[in-house]
Amino acid sequence: MASSMARSFLQVAATEEVASPLRVVQIEGLVILKIIKHCKEFSPALVTGQLLGLDVGSVLEVTNCFPFPIREEDEEIEADGANYQLEMMRCLREVNVDNNTVGWYQSTILGSYQTVELIETFMNYQENIRRCVCIIYDPSRSNQGVLALKALKLSDSFMELYRANNFTGEKLREKNLSWVDIFEEIPIQVSNSALISAFMTELESDTPVKQCDYDRLQLSTKPYMERNVEFLIECMDDLSMEQQKFQFYYRSLSRQQAQQQAWLQKRRTENMARKAAGEEPLPEEDPSNPIFKPIPEPSRLESFLVTNQIANYCNQINGVAGQNFNRLYLMKSLHDN
Amino acid sequence: MASKFWTQGGSDTEEEETDIEDEIENGGAGETTAAAAGSRYLQTNASDSDDSDGQKRVVRSAKDKRFEEMASTVDQMKNAMKINDWVSLQESFDKINKQLEKVMRVTESDRVPNLYIKCLVMLEDFLAEALANKEAKKKMSSSNHKALNAMKQKLKKNNKQYEELINKYRENPESEEEKFEDEDEDEDEDESGSELEDPSQIAAESSDEDDEGEDVDDDDADGAWEKKLSKKEKLMDREFKKDPSEITWDTVNKKFKEVVAARGRKGTGKFEQVEQLTFLTKVAKTPAQKLEILFSVISAQFDVNPGLSGHMPINVWKKCVQNMLVILDILVQYPNIVVDDMVEPDENETQKGADYDGTIRVWGNLVAFLERIDNEFFKSLQCIDPHTREYVERLRDEPLFLVLAQNVQEYLERIGDLKSAAKVALRRVELVYYKPQEVYDAMRQLAVLSEDGEKDGDETKVEETRGTSAFVVTPELVSRKLTFPENSRALMDILVTLIYKSGDERTKARAMLCDIYHHALFDEFSIARDLLLMSHLQDTIQHMDVSTQILFNRAMAQVGLCAFRVGLIAEGHGCLSELYSGGRVKELLAQGVSQSRYHEKTPEQERLERRRQMPYHMHINLELLEAVHLICAMLLEVPNMAANSLDAKRKVISKTFRRLLEVSERQPFTGPPENVRDHVMAATRALCKGDFQKAFDVINSLDVWKLLRNRESVLEMLKAKIKEEALRTYLFTYCFSYDTLGLDQLTKMFDLSDAQIHSIVSKMLVNEELHASWDQPTRCIIFHDVEYSRLQALAFQLTEKLSILAESNERAVEARFGGGGLDLPLRRRDNQEYAAGTAGGGGGRWPDLSYNQGRQGSSGRAAYTGGGRPLALGQASRDRSSQSRGTGGYSGRAGSGMRGYQMDASARMVSLSRGVRG
């Protein structure tokens, strides 16, 4: 009996594992406010914090969070950071708050978050908790009157590849993975308790235009655009560098192939001669020969990330420029009136 | 190539010969002088008769053979002694004892040969010496030491038998040998004496050397056979001399063959052979024979050259030239004699006398000889220290060679061998092309003077030779005088035209480069440039040999200097910038070896490089070159920097200059300028502020200007340029600070006339470098504030980056699918590497680049500064795409992408506004 019980538990666990991919991230309003507060206070420095919550089916509920202290580049302090995290969790547990880690949040500048570090952190989290999410908040973008909040996770196929640490062109083709498929954005749902909603409704004034809407009409988007273009230029440089790496690789590869061909040709003629002389032919493979040592193919991860970033900047520019046009037309018509 | 053949031959024989010389010298020193001389005598004897084996049989007595063997063993022993090798000494000793038995048996006498006794004495002395030297004994290897001890025992035992003889020898070493050795000794002296000797003596000597082989067998007296022989030789020789009628073609030919066969063998002295052959020329019976022998004389003279890197002794060189002239005399006198190196002529071809009607073929290659002579001249100039009198003296021999070359060329033209004539003409061109008119005139005068001076000397010499040789008289038909045109340009034109008509590719290319150099030297920039561009040399120069590449670099440097002199700054910079880009100017111009920190050169490379060096008098002054290059760079770069002050990295005209400027700016304290660089940097600092006077003063204080012929006019030009650039720099730098700027103010500031300023400013306006307009009534420039915004600037930058990326993408795709695409850059790269490796590099495409650069720069600038206009972006990309190959598709794409984006944006706007409305 007990054994069948255990088996059924296992079965249950197994079925749960395959079922329900993450569909929605549900965040408490309080958590968002905490994140915004933390990130805005420290902007332009980048900060991170822990997300706590529950994993319920295809919904990941984020019910609480706490900020990490700003890390300094020192191992001792880093250890302190880990200690802080554990201590914090313990304390939260004691006051009976959700203390189940579901991911982390971090601030970013102009959406330049696609880095190897983020992927590494994500992989770290992923090892410990099955469902994990990274929430990214961009304070500079929020200045424009948008809530720049994003929930991200790495795609499964990418994680698989990353674990194998194999980003050659062949593998990527096999997996049919392109740069778009690295990150998956998960829709965010903000949920508040009924009490809070009621309270908010109570507070809400009658005028439709609220304070934050003035932000939306701000006309000076130039610095923002400039920064974006600057970053874009940097990305271009990075991309060119990656491309150069590849060019170099292909060049050395073709050279090596030519060498191999020449060697093989020589070996064949030699074998012909040996055959004619009635001797054993020499093997056509010579692993000890340095020209047969495969040249490592440069990883494509970096260029994928750069491409992602570029796409991000482009989107931002697109969006901002589009909005700007609207405002300008609005202003123009206002003037005309 | 024939010349290659010569050099190889030279190196082969040379090594062996030096060996022998050493041997002789060492043997001759010390107590064994006599012995050495004796053995050497025997040795030459031996080799002589060996040589003649191939040609005719010499019956030698068994006795002689034994003696020779013994002599050679003695020689081996001597060698062993020299290196203190007791093992082989022991072996030789055993051998000589065995040989002694044989000798005794053959001579059927109980008298031990002197040679043997001498050898014993020598051994004894050496042994004593070795034993006395305890130090050395300790150092010996064990086998050597053992051999030494064994030798000691053996010698002791052996010497007992000959004690008496040895003692006798020791008491009076000379008495035994004097009689026959004195001959050899004086022969020795003769040899070590100089080659400038009375011909009769040379004759005596040479013939007694030659005849030994044949004459030896006539003797059969036991002890004093050698003595008899030498006497007889002398007699023979005298007969030879006194009875010219008895000398037949056959005898001369025989001897000639013998001497030639001895060439390169051990024991044949190089000078000796020359002398022997020279003597033979005097007794030659027919002109053809004389010619043949003369050719051999010249080859033998080339052999005298001590090594590949060393040069031929100068007096030998001069004689060589004289011999060539004599050859030409003969060829002119007997036009039926044909010189050819393709067919092996008949053995007895030269027998045909002067009255023979048909063509006589003689083996030889005039051009190869001439080229070799030229090379030797070049080498000697490389080797001699240019700051000595010797160098100047050597330079004076140049007309001598020019005379010869001229005559050879005339002869070749006459017989219709234009290809060879072109080669000779090239040699002449290469001696003339680098000479400015003054130097050329000086050389002409020198030639005339030296001709007058030498006339008498020549005649007496001719008299002398006539005294001894009366067989074939060769009157001096070929003129010994230079006939130069007044103007070096005229000479160049004649020669170069000939070469263009009938030279091969390399000859033509070299001649073209020399021509370009010469034009540039004479300030004819446009002609030089046209020649350079028409010939497409810059495309093919990488595939040429190193010395041609060096010539190309030299020509480019000279064209650059020329462009500067005539005031074409951009062109001058274009020509020179690449030379200076690698920091290896010295190497590229072959005017010295530059040390590279990063890779060591192998000794082999170093030697090669040293052999390529230009002689000092052909150098292009490096300081002047550097000054010109930097000033050109300054004049272009300073206004450029001022114009693009926003992002300095964007448009760099001269990287070298920028780097230097950075270095000088980093210095905490700038002292007064010392070298050329400091001067230009100081001038640059002044120019940046628009202070033209100071800039000019600094530049003017350089002392390289005294190297310019038309110094005044060049400096005048320079001053005007500096003023102009100062004005431009000022306008670029301070246009933001002005609303209007008065013309009068500018004329006062820059000391320029109204018209000049008007034209400069107008040009800037037209080029859209300056956003302003003229206000004629008030004589003012009104500046417009059309500075493009930062965002626009960034957008430009981005498009540039994108186009680079797109281009490299395209190339990658080509490489993947096109196949040929990857090869192209690869090959280019390899070529560059090769060029760098061979030090001739640098060259290649750079003049091409330079001429483009101006255009490219200006168009780029126009597009860049035209940012105020809405079209500019598309324009810029179109410009670039038309320059870069095959990116037409890209620009189209970019355009459509942009359009698409705009449409998208507007569409969204519409929808949004609809949403608002809704």
pLDDT in tens, B440-452: 888 888 777 765 5
Residue B364 lies in a domain: yes
At residue B173, does pLDDT exceed 50? yes
Q: Does B647 touch chain A (CB under 8 A)?
A: no
List of residues 6+ apart from B186 with CB closer than 8 A: none
Together in a domain, B630 and B555: no
pLDDT reported for residue B324: 85
Contacts of residue B798 in chain A, CB cutoff 8 Å? Answer: 229, 232-233, 236
The pLDDT of residue B910 is: 32
Residues B606, B719, single domain; the answer is no
Which pLDDT tens digit goes with each residue over B336-361?
A: 777 776 666 565 556 666 556 667 77
What is the token pair recorded at B820?
Answer: 């040929």
Q: Which amino acid is at B211?
A: D
Nearest alpha-carbon partner for B431 in B450, B405, B411, B407 = B405
Instruction: Name all contacts of B463-466 with Cβ < 8 Å and 24+ positions apart.
Output: B464/B199, B465/B199, B465/B282
Question: Where does the pLDDT of residue B596 fall: very low under 50, low under 70, confident under 90, or very high at 90 and above?
Answer: low
Nearest-by-CA chain B residue for A315: B901
Contacts of A318 in chain B (CB under 8 A): 901, 904-905
CB B875 within 8 Å of CB B866:
yes
Please give the C-alpha separations between residue A316 and each of A141, A265, B793, in angstroms, as whole numbers.
9, 56, 19
- Nearest chain A residue (CA) to B909: A326
Average pLDDT of the residues in B24-43:
44
Look at residue B21 in the predicted model and tell me its pLDDT.
Answer: 45
For the stretch B773-820, pLDDT in tens is: 888 888 888 888 666 677 888 888 888 888 888 888 888 787 766 544
Band the pLDDT of A166: cuts 50, 70, 90: confident
Contact between chains at B804 and A240 (C-beta distance less than 8 A): yes
Please report the pLDDT score of residue B459 as a whole number: 40
Instruction: Report the distance separating Cα B519 and Cα B532, nearest Å.
Output: 11
Residue numbers in B near A240 (CB within 8 A): 801, 804-805, 808
Residue A135 is inside which H or E element, if any? strand A133-137
Give the span between the Cα atoms of B67 and A115, in whole angstroms: 94
- CB neighbours of B432 closer than 8 A, spacing ≥ 6? B440, B488, B491, B492, B495, B518
- Selected residue with higher pLDDT from B859 and B643: B643
> Which of A173, A231, A315, A326 has the highest number of chain B CBs within 10 A, making it the mutation to test binding with B?
A326
Q: Is residue B476 part of a domain?
A: no
pLDDT, position B220:
42
In whole numbers, what is the pLDDT of chain B averaged over residues? 69
- Distance CA(B338)–CA(B348), nearest Å, equals 15
pLDDT above 90: percentage of residues in chain A: 0
Give yes or no for residue B630 having a pLDDT over 60: yes
Shortest CA gap B905–chain A (Å): 6
More confident residue, B662 or B649: B662
Point out the residue among A240, A318, A321 whose CB comes nearest to the CB of B805: A240
Q: Does B550 score more than 70 pLDDT?
A: yes
Question: A191 by DSSP, 3-state: which?
Answer: strand
Q: B433-472 burial string, b = 16+ CB within 10 Å, else e?
A: bbbeeeebeebbeebeeebeeeeeeeeeeeeebeebbebb
Q: Which of A95-104, B266-275, B634-643, B686-695 has the least mean pLDDT?
A: B266-275
Q: What are phi and psi of A65, to 5 degrees?
A: -155, 160
**Residue B314 has what pLDDT?**
81
Same domain, B302 and B436: yes
- Is B615 found in the same domain as B583? yes
Q: Which residues on chain B are in Cβ contact (under 8 Å) with A229? A: 791, 794-795, 798
Strands (E), B16-127: none
Select the residue from B649, B792, B798 to test the A interface by mutation, using most A Cβ atoms within 10 A.
Answer: B798
Of residues A199 and B312, the one with the higher pLDDT is: A199
3-state helix, strand, coil in chain B (%, to 5): 75, 0, 25
Look at residue B531 and tell me whether its pLDDT is greater than 60: yes
Does B812 contact A230 at a Cβ distance shorter than 8 Å? Answer: no
- Whether the CB of B906 is below 8 Å from some CB of chain A: the reply is yes
Region of residue B345 (phi > 0: left; psi between -120 and 50: alpha; otherwise: beta): beta
Q: Does B907 touch chain A (CB under 8 A)?
A: no
CA–CA distance, A68 with A79 (Å, rounded to integer): 12
**For B280-321, what is each residue's pLDDT tens digit?**
777 666 777 777 778 888 877 777 766 666 777 788 888 888
Query: Token pair of B573, please?
Result: 């910079």
Domain final residue pick, B620, B654, B673: B620
Task: Please tell me the predicted confidence (pLDDT) of residue B754.
Answer: 87
Whether A251 sits inside 8 A of B826 (CB atoms) is yes
The residue among B748, B783, B818 that closes a domain is B783
Structure confidence at residue A42 (pLDDT): 83
Q: Which of A315-319, B95-99, B695-699, B712-716 has the lowest mean pLDDT?
A: B95-99
Report residue B741 CA to chain centroid gap: 59
The confidence score (pLDDT) of residue B800 equals 86
The residue ranking higher by pLDDT, B81 or A61, is A61
Is B815 part of a structural domain of the chain? Answer: no
Instruction: Provide the mean pLDDT of chain A.
Output: 80
Based on the domain organization, do B263 and B359 belong to the same domain? yes
Listed in sequence order, the residues at least 6 apart from B615 whose beta carbon sits closer than 8 Å to its beta carbon are: B378, B381, B382, B386
- Across the range B170-176, mean pLDDT stands at 60
Residue A290 backbone class (left: φ over 0; alpha: ψ -120 to 50; beta: rest): alpha
Shared domain for B407 and B299, answered yes or no, is yes
CA distances from B415 to A29, B218, B339 (A): 108, 50, 10
Domain A19-199 part of CATH 3.40.140.10: yes
Least confident of A166-170, A175-179, B226-230, B393-397: B226-230
Beta carbons within 10 angstroms of residue B119's beta carbon: 24
Given this model, what pLDDT does residue B632 score? Answer: 92
- Number of domains present in the structure of chain B: 4
Percentage, residues of chain B above pLDDT 70: 62
Q: Do A243 and B805 touch (CB under 8 A)?
A: yes
Average pLDDT in the B599-621 region? 79
Residue B585 lies in a domain: yes
Q: What share of chain A is helix, strand, coil (3-state, %, to 5)?
A: 60, 15, 25
Domain match, B580 and B650 both? no
- B392 and B443 in a single domain? The answer is yes
Burial class (CB in 10 A: 0-12, 13-18, 19+), B353: middle
Q: Which residue has the higher pLDDT, B802 or B466?
A: B802
Q: Which residues of B622-657 are buried (b: 16+ CB within 10 A; e: fewer)?
A: bebbbbbbbbbbbbbbbbbbbbbeeeeeeeebbebb
* pLDDT at B410 > cutoff 70: yes
Rounded distance between C-alpha atoms, residue A33 and residue A44, angstroms = 18
What value of ipTM does the predicted structure carry? Answer: 0.72
Is A321 within 8 Å of B794 when comparing Cβ atoms?
no
Q: What is the mean pLDDT of residues A254-266?
A: 86
Tokens of residue B161, six digits: 């038998």
**Separation of alpha carbons B573 and A12, rounded Å:** 81
Span B249-271, average pLDDT: 69
Report the range of poorest mean pLDDT among B205-209, B389-393, B692-696.
B205-209
B646 reaches A (C-beta below 8 A): no
**C-alpha distance from A334 to closest chain B C-alpha (Å):** 14
Query: Which are the contacts of B130, defined by CB distance < 8 A and separation ≥ 6?
Result: B84, B86, B136, B137, B148
Token duo for residue B99: 């040989």
Nearest CA to B75 out of B61, B94, B60, B89 is that of B89
Mean pLDDT in residue range B887-908:
36
Last residue of a domain, one of B408, B431, B452: B452
Using only the alpha carbons of chain A, give its radius of gyration: 28
Residues 6+ apart with CB under 8 A from B354: B286, B287, B334, B472
Instruction: Please determine, for residue A275, whether its predicted confidence score (pLDDT) is greater than 50.
Output: yes
* pLDDT at position B363 over 60: yes
Which among A322-336, B579-593, B647-661 has the top mean pLDDT? Answer: A322-336
What whole-number distance in Å separates Cα of residue A320 and Cα of residue A226?
12
pLDDT band for position B55 (cuts 50, 70, 90): very low
pLDDT digits 0-9 by tens, A136-149:
888 877 776 677 88
Annotated domain spans of chain A: 19-199, 236-336
pLDDT at B516: 92
CB B491 within 8 Å of CB B525: no
SS3 B197: coil
Cα(B734)–Cα(B781) distance, integer angstroms? 13
Q: What is the mean pLDDT of residues B525-539?
A: 87
Which one has a higher pLDDT value, B205 or B674? B674
Nearest to B812 among A236, A246, A322 (CB): A246
Is residue B678 in a domain?
yes
The pair of three-digit structure tokens given for residue B344, joined into one six-digit string: 């092996």
The more confident residue out of B432 and B129 is: B432
Most confident stretch, B195-209, B252-266, B698-712, B889-903: B698-712
The single-letter code of the amino acid at A70 is I
Using one digit for the tens of pLDDT, what is the confidence trace for B705-754?
A: 888 888 888 898 999 999 999 998 888 888 878 888 888 888 888 888 88
In the numeric block, the tokens 């014993």 are attached to B120
Domain assignment present for residue B49? The answer is no
Q: Inter-chain contact A243–B812, Cβ cutoff 8 Å?
A: yes
User: Residue B616 phi/psi, 5° resolution?
Assistant: -60, -40
Distances (CA, A) of B257 to B59, B289, B294, B295, B847: 19, 12, 13, 13, 56
Q: Is residue A171 pLDDT above 50, yes or no?
A: yes
Domain range for B682 is: 623-783
Q: Which two tokens stand for residue B247?
A: 């000398």
CA-based nearest residue in chain B for residue A242: B805
Among residues B904, B425, B715, which one has the least CA distance to residue B912? B904
Q: Which of the four pLDDT bands, split at 50, 70 and 90, describes residue B43?
A: very low
**Contact criterion met (CB below 8 Å) for A27 and A191:** yes
Same domain? For B609 and B642 the reply is no
Distances (CA, A) of B4 to B454, B612, B613, B759: 33, 16, 19, 61
In a domain, B492, yes or no: no
CA dihedral (B831, B836, B838, B844) positive or negative = positive
Per the domain annotation, does B554 fall within a domain?
A: yes
The tokens for A96 are 């009976």
Q: Choose the weakest-confidence range: A333-337, B41-45, B571-575, B630-634.
A: B41-45
Q: Classify strands B780-783 and B772-775 as parallel, antiparallel or unpaired.
A: antiparallel
Query: Is the same domain home to B385 and B444?
Result: yes
- Chain A closest CA to B804's CA: distance in Å? 8
Q: Report the candidate in B650, B687, B718, B660 with the shortest Cα–Cα distance to residue B857.
A: B650
Q: Are residues B316 and B378 in the same domain?
A: yes
Question: Do B402 and B260 share a structural domain?
Answer: yes
